[in-house]
A and B are shown apart, each in its own frame.
Chain A
C-alpha cells in the first residue's frame, strides 16, 4: 500500500502469510465442537468468517483436513459463510461496504466504525 492506495488495489499475498494463524483458529474450531458434542461423527460444520476478520478461508479448509483427522469431524463438509464488511465513516457520516483490510472511506478517512465483516463464529454442526 502507498499513501494513495485505492480500494481497488489487489490484496497483497494474504494466503501466504495467512496460513500461519489459521491453524490455531482451526484447532479452536475443532476443540470447541468436540467439547460441545463429543466424538460423535459430524457430517458438516457451518462457519461464519467475515471478510475483515483477518482469517483466510482457504487456509482454514486446508488446516481443517489435518486438524479434524482422527476426531469425529474427520471428513466433515465445511460450509463457510463470508459476510461482507460494512463500515460507518465518522467523518462523512456515510455507511458503505468494504472488503479490504486497509479500511478507508472514499473520502480518505480511516475513522470508521466497523459494523460487519469481523465475524469469526461457529454457526452449527450437522451430527450424524
Chain B
C-alpha cells in the first residue's frame, strides 16, 4: 500500500540511488523480518489496552535520532519543500555552484520517479542521492535515513533535501532536518499560503522565487507576504530569482548562519 495516495507500496517501491555517472548505483532495501507474536489466547470478552502514543511517533523518533546524528557531525540538513515547478532544482543547482569552495554541499533528491533532477545536480559536481518514492508523495524520516546512509556526508557539510513537489503531505513529516524552507514562485497563485496553511506554518524560511518574472505576471506580492505572515508571524522571508541571481546573497547568508 502506498504511503499516501493508495496505489503501490512504500517499502516495495521506494528506491534510493546514488547517482554518479551514467549507470546509477542501486541501493537495495533490506528485507524486514518482523516476527509476529501471538501473545494472548483468543477470548470472547474484549479488554482495553491503553497505548497513548503519537501516531507519527515512529517517524518522529527516527527524525530525532537523525537530527542528533547530524548535529554530532556538524552537518546541516535543509528540507526544501514547494509545489512542482517552483524552481527548487534550479535554485539548488545555482546554490551548489555558488557555494563551491565555501562549504561541501550534498543533495538528497526526492521524486516519485526518474533521476532527472539528480542528474542535473550531479552535473554541478555535487554528490547526490535520488530517492524515488514510487507512489508516495512525500519523504519521511526513514527514507532520509536511508538516503543519508548512502550519501555519507562528511563532517561540517551542508545537505539539501529536495522533498517531493507537494504542499500537502511533506508538511506533516519531520525528517530530522535543521531547518525547513518553503519555496513559492510568482508564477503560482499569491493565495497559495492560504490554501496550504499547514505547510507554510512549518517553514523557518520562505523563498519567493522567480521575482524576475514579476513584470510579466499578475502576482500580488503584498497579499502573498501578508498571508504568509498571518500563518507564521516570525517566519523569515526572502525574495529571490534563482536564474537572475536576485536575493541569493541573502540566501547564502541565511545558509551560512545554519
Residues of A within 8 A of B (CB): 1-3, 5, 12, 17-18, 20-21, 23-25, 27-29, 31-34, 36-41, 43-44, 47, 54-55, 63, 66-67, 101-104, 109-111, 120-128
Contacts and interface: CB of A to CB of B under 8 A. Distances in A.
A128 B223 contact: no
A10 to B, nearest CB: 13
Given A21-B138, A110-B230, A111-B233, A38 B38 contact: yes
A1 B228 CA distance: 12
Given A20-B4, A23-B3, A66-B1, A121 B229 contact: no
Given A1-B191, A21-B138, A126-B46, A27 B230 contact: no
A85 to B, nearest CB: 13
Interface stretch (B22-30, B71-79, B167-175, B206-214): B167-175
B109 to A, nearest CB: 20
A127 B42 CA distance: 9
Contacts of B223: 3
A38 B36 contact: yes
Contacts of B38: 38-40
Contacts of A43: 46
Contact of A37 (B49, B137, B173): B49
Nearest to A109: B233
Contacts of A55: 172
Interface string B31-58: 0000011111011111111111111111
B171 A54 contact: yes
Contact of A124 (B42, B48, B233): B48
A39 B35 CA distance: 11
Contact of B226 (A3, A67, A128): A3
A21 B226 contact: no
Nearest to B201: A103
A24 B3 contact: yes
A60 B13 CA distance: 23
Given A3-B226, A124-B48, 9 more contacts: A20-B5, A24-B138, A28-B56, A36-B49, A38-B37, A47-B55, A122-B51, A124-B51, A128-B43
Nearest to A49: B55
**Most B Cβ at <10 Å: residue of A20, A39, A63:** A20
10 contacts: A3-B223, A23-B1, A23-B4, A38-B39, A47-B55, A54-B171, A102-B231, A122-B55, A124-B48, A125-B51
A23 B39 contact: no
